[in-house]
Amino acid sequence: MGAANSGDVRYNKNIHYRLLAAGMEDMMKGQPIKQGDKSAKQAGSLTKKIYLYARLSQEDEQSGDSNSIVNQRSILTKYAEENNLTPYEFVYDDGYSGTDWERPAFSQIIEDVEAGLVSTVAVKDLSRFGRDYLKVGFYSEILFPKHDVRLIAVHDNVDTDLGENDLAPMVNLFNEWYVKSTSRKVRAIIQAKGKSGERIAVVPKYGYRKIENDIGKIEIDVESAAVVRRIFNMYANGISARGIAMALTTEGIRNPTTYKSESGILKKPRPTGTTSYWNASTVTGILDAQEYLGHTVNFKTYSKSYKDKKSRKNAPENVMVFENTHPAIIDKATWDVVRKMRSHKRRPPVYGMPGLFSGLVYCSDCNAKLYFNMRKITTKKYGERLDGAYACSEYKKDLSAGYPRKCTAHYKELAKIQAEKVKLKNRELTARMRAGLLTPEEQEAYQARREYKSTAHKKWRDKRNASEPPKPPKPLSIAKIAERVKEGLPLTAEETEKREAYKARKNAQFKKWRAKQKANEPPKPPKEKKPTKKEIMSDIIARKNAGQSLTAVEVETYEAYRKEKREKHKVWRDAKAAENPKPPTLFITEIAKRRQEGLPLTPEEVAAYDAWREKKSKYQREWKEKNSEYHREYSRKRHQSKKVENAEAVGH
């Protein structure tokens, strides 16, 4: 990037220039209109904007205002004035690749397009708009038509107001091929340089700086190299990466990014947050860098495509190391010590300092590392103290993950070892006492110890019983509950529930046992089904109705069955009659007889007799009518048949 013609003003790619037609002279004098200029925004707020856009990639950067930018500006302004595209705003991105779509000026244009503030966008050719076939197609064929924006590419004869240009997609495709070809060539050059041992990193490691007028060579930076040596020495003395980062932050030492930006090692300084904040990952990155031994390390990262801006860590077999290519900051002995300690990473415990043998001792059973655990113990007698011990890492890992333990903790403390020694001594003394091998002095000491322990235990028990509330009575056992049930004594709700649960558990156990027994027993033969009494009687009745002969036994069975049914029916009928007694029935003959004898009748009998006389009279009338009709029909048919017989006699 070059300076302007006056004022020695330096421009970088983070500045977004825009130029109104009325302000071109100011731009030529080195007075840029920046992105946040209020006059530019007010000028485009009344009508839709006309943007003239130019772009220059990093490969084409020259001293001063680039010829390419000047050339694009003159072509676009001349075209705008000749085609009455005024007022316009000239904006450009200097130092941006055509595959980078996060350009400041271009992003502002797209933002205004989506807001509906743009009517026309003009570029020198489609390659200045971008070199991604898919992206350029999206903007020119989808986004711009959606917001009614006119796109003009002067040298490619593209104007969306004149209709679609069939060659535009091919031009975009060739523009992308150019980027792809350039990327392939640059990759090949970097690969050749890296494999030949040249340093391909753009920015040197913290602790070094580039040598002026000597491309690819670096030298030691005294101030930052002292910090690097201090980091290695602190780690070699047992301080963790996190502890080193906290110490450097507390002392206010500038972190690598801030130091490189302020000391001029970075040409384009990057914005940083807290200048003196150090992270543990930054410290570990310094501890793992082989460059401090004087080696050149190439191909540590890679990207999958020229469109992919993300750097990925390369596999160790693809990394190339060239030894003794520049001055070393760290000697080989210090590096080896740090490497050995890094292979056994140690984390600081919550309390106290790390264990002296952390990372150096292993389990005798499974050969895994032993972790150092520090804990804080507080007792009434000794107060607060720190106590540390080693435990097997396989035991700790399996316990935290919930898997079956592959090993034991191997947790040993000094107090536990001493207690085990005392127990062993007491066991030996007891064994000698039982064998009668104690001297009079040892016997006296043994009895005194027994009395002392008994007295101390009694005091402790009395004190505990006095301080604790009385214990509730123990619940009854199942046997006691069964005895109370046999004696007829009442049970509490808890005892009843316990008894029912016991019975249910026993029943379940018995069922399970019985099912197992049945599974082991051989299958029993099926039983012969005997006919029921009902089936036998049904068969006898069916044969009797069919006229088949019955045996004497079957006849006797049938008669007994009939007799039994009659008796049952009689019993049932008597029971029904007893349940619903009916009044005595009066027969008409008796009523008529009593009436003829002149005996008095009850109103019910008189009503019944009258109803019977009426019914009888009605029946007699119907019978006479039916009988007379029958006789008339019979007489008619008789007379007709006589006539037929007479006619036949005359004919003969």
Query: Distance between CA atoms of 22 and 35, rounded to whole angstroms?
Result: 17
pLDDT band at 38 (very low <50, low <70, confident <90, very high): very low
Are 169 and 272 in a shared domain? no
390 part of a folded domain: no
Q: Which of 308, 323, 343 corresponds to the end of one domain?
A: 343
**Closest C-alpha among 121, 93, 99 to residue 35:** 93
Mean pLDDT (whole number) for 99-126 = 89
Long-range contacts of 282-287 (CB under 8 A, 24+ apart): 282/245, 282/255, 282/256, 283/231, 283/235, 283/241, 283/242, 283/244, 283/245, 283/248, 284/241, 286/206, 286/228, 286/231, 287/231, 287/232, 287/235, 287/241, 287/338, 287/342
Are 90 and 151 in a shared domain? yes
Q: Of residues 91 and 353, which shows the higher confidence score?
A: 91
Instruction: Give the percent of the chain with pLDDT over 90.
Output: 10
Q: Which of 308, 328, 343 corresponds to the end of one domain?
A: 343
Inform me whether the pLDDT recorded for 48 exceeds 70.
yes
Mean pLDDT (whole number) for 227-248 = 88
pLDDT at 149: 92
**Closest C-alpha among 109, 2, 115, 13 to residue 53:** 109
Least confident of 86-95, 113-122, 408-417, 609-618: 408-417
Inform me whether the pLDDT recorded for 504 exceeds 90.
yes
One-letter identity of residue 172: N
Quote the domain boundaries for residue 254: 201-343
Least confident of 318-322, 417-421, 468-472, 610-614: 417-421
pLDDT at 413: 53
Query: Distance between CA atoms of 270 and 106, rounded to whole angstroms?
Result: 22
Query: Distance between CA atoms of 504 and 510, rounded to whole angstroms?
Result: 10
Under 8 Å CB-to-CB from 99, ≥6 apart: which residues? 130, 131, 132, 179, 306, 307
pLDDT at 596: 85
Inform me whether the pLDDT recorded for 181 exceeds 70.
no
pLDDT at 579: 82
Highest mean pLDDT among 287-296, 381-390, 638-647: 287-296
Query: Distance between CA atoms of 330 and 220, rounded to whole angstroms?
Result: 11
pLDDT at 500: 93
pLDDT band at 400 (very low <50, low <70, confident <90, very high): very low
Kindly report, residue by residue over 558-606, the tens digit of the pLDDT. Answer: 899 889 999 999 999 888 888 877 666 667 888 888 888 888 888 888 8
Kindly report, residue by residue over 3-28, the tens digit of the pLDDT. Answer: 333 333 333 333 333 333 333 333 33
Mean pLDDT (whole number) for 271-294 = 81
pLDDT band at 175 (very low <50, low <70, confident <90, very high): low
Kindly report, residue by residue over 182-236, the tens digit of the pLDDT. Answer: 667 667 766 777 677 777 777 888 888 888 777 778 888 888 889 999 999 988 8
Are 592 and 552 in a shared domain? no
pLDDT at 21: 32
Q: In what order do the strands lie in the sheet with 158-159?
A: 17-20, 89-94, 49-56, 118-123, 150-153, 158-159
260 part of a folded domain: yes
Inform me whether the pLDDT recorded for 402 exceeds 70.
no
Query: Distance between CA atoms of 647 and 468, rounded to whole angstroms?
Result: 141
66 part of a folded domain: yes
Q: Of residues 93 and 164, which shows the higher confidence score?
A: 93
CATH code for the domain in which residue 322 is found: 3.90.1750.20
CATH code for the domain in which residue 99 is found: 3.40.50.1390
Are 24 and 166 in a shared domain? yes
Q: Of residues 162 and 395, which shows the higher confidence score?
A: 162
Task: For the chain, give the mean pLDDT.
Answer: 77
pLDDT at 607: 86
Give the 3-state secondary structure of 506-526: HHHHHHHHHHHHHHHCCCCCC
pLDDT at 425: 83
pLDDT band at 29 (very low <50, low <70, confident <90, very high): very low
**Closest C-alpha among 299, 289, 290, 296 to residue 325:** 296
pLDDT at 498: 92
Q: Of residues 11 and 177, which shows the higher confidence score?
A: 177
**Closest C-alpha among 118, 115, 135 to residue 127:** 135
pLDDT at 382: 67
Are 74 and 146 in a shared domain? yes
402 part of a folded domain: no
The total of other beta-carbon atoms located within 10 Å of residue 476's CB is 17
Mean pLDDT (whole number) for 427-451 = 85
Please count the structural domains in the chain: 4
pLDDT at 356: 65
Beta strands in 108-171 (DSSP E): 118-123, 150-153, 158-159
Are 85 and 152 in a shared domain? yes
pLDDT band at 122 (very low <50, low <70, confident <90, very high): very high
pLDDT at 497: 92
Mean pLDDT (whole number) for 487-515 = 92
Are 165 and 236 in a shared domain? no
Q: Which of 317, 343, 369 corresponds to the end of one domain?
A: 343
Are 257 and 182 in a shared domain? no
174 part of a folded domain: yes
Secondary structure class of 321 (helix, strand, coil): strand
One-letter identity of residue 133: Y
Are 237 and 168 in a shared domain? no
pLDDT band at 418 (very low <50, low <70, confident <90, very high): low
User: What's CA 521's distance to the chain center, in Å?
Assistant: 51
pLDDT band at 507 (very low <50, low <70, confident <90, very high): very high
Mean pLDDT (whole number) for 293-317 = 74
Q: Of residues 36 and 200, which shows the higher confidence score?
A: 200
Are 229 and 310 in a shared domain? yes
pLDDT band at 178 (very low <50, low <70, confident <90, very high): low
pLDDT at 121: 93
211 part of a folded domain: yes
Query: Distance between CA atoms of 234 and 227, rounded to whole angstroms?
Result: 10
Are 244 and 305 in a shared domain? yes
pLDDT at 360: 73
242 part of a folded domain: yes
Are 49 and 142 in a shared domain? yes
325 part of a folded domain: yes
